[in-house]
Amino acid sequence: MRFPGVTPPAGELAQRTSLLSGAPAWFSQSSYGGMTLQLTFDTVWRQLPNSQTAYSDYNVDFNAQRAYVQDAVNVANAAIDFSQYDLVYVVAPSNASSIPNSPSFIANVGWGAWADGVELRHGATFGQDLSHWGYKVLNHETGHVFGLPDLYSYAADQHQAAGGWDLMGLISGPAPDLLAWHKWKLGWLADNQIVCQAGSGSTTATLTPLGASGGTKALVVRTGERDAVVVENRQVSQLDVSSSCFQPGVLVYQVTTKVGGGGIPPGSNTPVPGGPRPIRVADRLPNSTIAGCDARAAELANATLTAVNHAVTVAGVTVRVTEHSGSNRSVQVTVP
């Protein structure tokens, strides 16, 4: 979409179309072929009725974002049959300075945009940061549509909980494939691919790499009414970056549903400093970073258990690696 008085840079429509075209393959790989996203791109910039400043609160005010989406749908409606689509993505040119970032668009029933007899309740509005994050910002924001939370904190400890181990945290991180917990929630992993333990005792499992299809993908220990510890095997997949900033091994993390995205507790707009986060990775080597890595991911880049007998204890659960067999990793969890 273009705005009055703003001429998109020459060739940028084709560039943005090409850039976003990488998102479907990412979902297909992460879901083991279980999810298909089909994108249809408009062929021209369509001019909105209002200046970009009229929509500048779109990222903090739902009503402003809703108006933005509705106006975009209105001006494109003559060329697009919106009854054929489940999601709507609104793309601004890179020189639209009042549209800096790319929040998801999630509307309750009756509060979406309307066209062709259907209500459009889901999608995203892409801004200038599309040029920085690339197509994976579409995967991230669509993850919110599917119900996944932001794993980075809205407080000062922005990436200290999850680092670069999931796309819902640091989009540009070295290991952006979704965690096993998220894949299980989305139905991309079957229940029989998860080993569960509730209560005291020991459980063992052989975990196949998360990025490859088939096999057991996680061992989950319930530690409370809304809390768990998850163990998974992270080897470099097609979605990850093979570098010293990705340490293949067993990743252990805590999960809680007591807070929402960004660490926001119910009834609040502000995360508690140092408080619970939706995902908190257990760090085998706390206060130890890997030189040369993105500072936002460096602290947790070496969090994994990389050798036999490496162990970590979190929330009373001790996880120990017992065997390497090719790329598979056997683990034992013990709860007193």
Note the pLDDT tens digit of each residue in 198-233: 989 999 999 999 999 999 999 999 999 999 999 999
Contacts of 257 (CB under 8 A, 6+ apart): 226, 227, 278
What pLDDT, on a 0 to 100 scale, did the predictor assign at position 257? 95
How confident is the model over 38-74, as pLDDT tens digits? 999 999 999 999 999 999 999 999 999 999 999 999 9
What pLDDT, on a 0 to 100 scale, did the predictor assign at position 265? 92
pTM (2 decimals)? 0.96
84 three-state secondary structure: helix
* Angle ∠(168,305,193) on CA atoms, nearest 5: 60
CATH 2.60.98 holds for 180-335? yes
Q: List the chain domain ranges.
A: 12-145, 180-335
Mean pLDDT, rounded, for 250-260:
97
Report which DSSP code applies to 187.
Answer: T
Contacts of 11 (CB under 8 A, 6+ apart): none
Confidence grade of residue 251 (pLDDT, cut at 50, 70, 90): very high
How confident is the model over 291-336, as pLDDT tens digits? 999 999 999 999 999 999 999 999 999 999 999 999 999 999 999 9
